[in-house]
Structure 1
Amino acid sequence: MLRKLTVALLPLALAVPVALAAPEVADAQAPAAAQCRRTLPAYPQLDPGDRSEAVRTLQCAINDLGFGPVTVDGYYGPETKKALAPLIGGREGQPPHPYRITPLFWHQLYGLQLPHRTLAQGDRGPAVRTLQRALRAWGLTVVVDGVFGPQTTAALRDYQRQHDVRPTGRTDRATRYFLVGGDYY
């Protein structure tokens, strides 16, 4: 099942438009209600019908990936579900609750937003923040500050060890493979 999911998600990972410069809030012309808070203390399980700030974060991630636009209203309703269909439908062996958003799914959402280049200690900016969110969604402790410092390096090395990847502390090709869903634990 691990490899089937990998095969299903990798073409999607290559086709997903990347919005690297996604700001912490929606553009200045959008109403205040549409502001996005992309960083959460933890990335919880969500089900259709849920209403929460975490759903707003999910909706922002959907828009960042180019699967929207969806209204950022905190309601996991038909519009949000429809926008997720390309991600959900690309998986082989549908789980019993295909539209349930799990921490693994959050991890993949942020992994899909990473650039196709290596990030390493000393880098700064939105791409580093996205990496930090993916690591946090995986369950690692990391501050999401956009600075690829010693803490992010240590968290990434831990992530790499968990995936039997050489712990370089950089987002090399092998590491990006797992960040976009090349595994299923």
Structure 2
Amino acid sequence: MQVSTGVRNGGRRGAGFTSAATAVILGLTLSACSGTTPRTASAAESPAVASSTTTTGPADPGSTAPIPTVTADPLTPTKPTTTTSAPTTPSAPATTPAPTDPGSVAGSCERTLPAYPVLQPGAKGPAVRTLQCFLDDADYGPVAVDGVYGAQTRAAVTKVEASFEGPPPKPGRIDAGMWVLLISRTLGDQPLKVGSKGAEVVTLQRALRAAGGTITVDGSFGAETKKVVQRFQQANRVGDDGVVAEDTLFLLKMGATIG
């Protein structure tokens, strides 16, 4: 009885062992075919825990999931730097003193002097201003009327000297003859005689004063003016009729004096 029981028990144990072994062999065969290693869950691991486990690794090359796009923040444009300058107040233009007589380049012109003195380069004063005015009147300028006998005035005087038949005896010197010549250059060709009036008579009287005569400059050709004209004609041997006609006008414009 005991022997048969043992055989039965032994046969059951042998059959159980054979079934378990067969299952293991079958599992190994399936694993080998699929290329994966069977995972053996521990007795403590529950299906819930196993299902929540996440495996990280390289992305599947065959995955069709879109590649995330990274968008950079736009560049902030640089605001140009502007410099604001204070408004400039325009300065008032420089004013030039108005001439007392027309024809001056700058400054005032006083053409009538008590006497017309000798001037040399470097001279200064009212007489130089008068000289500069006459140079402009006779178209030898333009010369700035500044009262200084400088380079500009000397250049204009050189133009006058170039009109002489010979070289000037004293270059640059303004004597009585030069004064008469410059003043008379603006005289016209019409004869002047007793009764004549106006700007032409004023110019004649200035020229006669520069020539050495004593005469009032008032623009009226009267007895006094006739007397000085006769003295001038006598000194230069062109008669003494007291009429400023062709010959007398020519002598005045050439710078003749009373002597």
* TM-score in terms of structure 1 length: 0.79
Q: String of CA shifts for 1:56-114, please: whole Å, max 9, x gaps.
A: 00000011112222111100001111122221112233245211000111011112221
Give the C-alpha shift of residue 182 in structure 1.
Answer: 6.6
Identity of aligned residues (%): 41
Question: Gaps spanning 5+ residues in structure 1: where?
Answer: 1-23
Q: Find out whether 1:110 has 2:189 as its counterpart.
A: no
Q: SS at the partner of 1:34?
A: coil
Contact 2:180 2:256 (C-alpha < 8 Å) held by counterparts: no
RMSD: 2.2
- Across the two proteins, how many residue pairs are aligned to each other? 160
For residues 43 and 182 of structure 1, what CA distance do their matches in structure 2 show? Answer: 13
- Within-5 A mapping of 1:95-134: 95-134=168-207
> What's the counterpart of residue 45 of structure 1?
118
Which structure has more RCO (C-alpha within 8 Å, separation ≥ 6)? 1
**1:89 paired residue among 162, 167, 173:** 162
Q: String of CA shifts for 1:109-151, please: whole Å, max 9, x gaps.
A: 1122211110111111111011001100111100011111111
> What's the counterpart of residue 5 of structure 1?
none
Question: Gaps spanning 5+ residues in structure 2: where?
Answer: 1-98
> What's the counterpart of residue 58 of structure 1?
131
**Runs of 4+ residues over 4 Å off in structure 1:** 182-185
**1:136 paired residue among 201, 206, 209:** 209
* TM-score in terms of structure 2 length: 0.58
- The structure in which a higher percent of residues are helix is 1
> What's the counterpart of residue 252 of structure 2?
179
**2:238 paired residue among 165, 170, 179:** 165
